[in-house]
Amino acid sequence: MDYKTFQPHSDLDSLVKFYWTLQVPFDPKNQKQKIIPDGCIEMTFNFADKIKKYTSDTESILQDTAMIMGQRTKSFDILPTGKVDTFAICFYPIGFGVATFD
């Protein structure tokens, strides 16, 4: 597993908390991982295989390859279906609402 964080350019540091990347080779022994709410809004891009998001102990959905996740209020489990190669932008709670993209 290769997880890295990067600080934003000074022009964005009031909006973006950090960027992160995650690369994990496929392992058939992978287990569910719990995602804990952190108060941030994230924009994520998945460049590899799909990731399952569990909606209950036994049911899951496949997450989109690009998505915006709002502030989470409860934890959930995920499980990679193969290789993981993800890039994400972690915004401060207010950062996404005031960000403009020209």
Domain boundaries, the chain: 2-95
* Lowest mean pLDDT segment, chosen from 14-28, 43-57, 88-102: 88-102
Q: Tens digits of per-residue pLDDT, 30-78?
A: 889 999 988 889 999 999 999 999 999 999 999 999 999 888 888 999 9
CB 6 within 8 A of CB 20: yes
Where helices occur in the chain by DSSP H, the ranges are 95-98
Mean pLDDT (whole number) for 1-30: 94
The pLDDT confidence band at residue 100, using thresholds 50, 70 and 90, is low
Give the contacts of 102 (CB within 8 A, at least 6 positions apart).
none
pTM of the model: 0.83
SS3 of 48, please? coil
Burial class (CB in 10 A: 0-12, 13-18, 19+), 29: exposed
CB 86 within 8 A of CB 78: no
- CATH 2.60.120.10 matches 2-95: yes
Is the pLDDT score of 21 beyond 60?
yes
**68 beta partners:** 43
CB 35 within 8 A of CB 77: yes
Is the pLDDT score of 96 beyond 80?
no
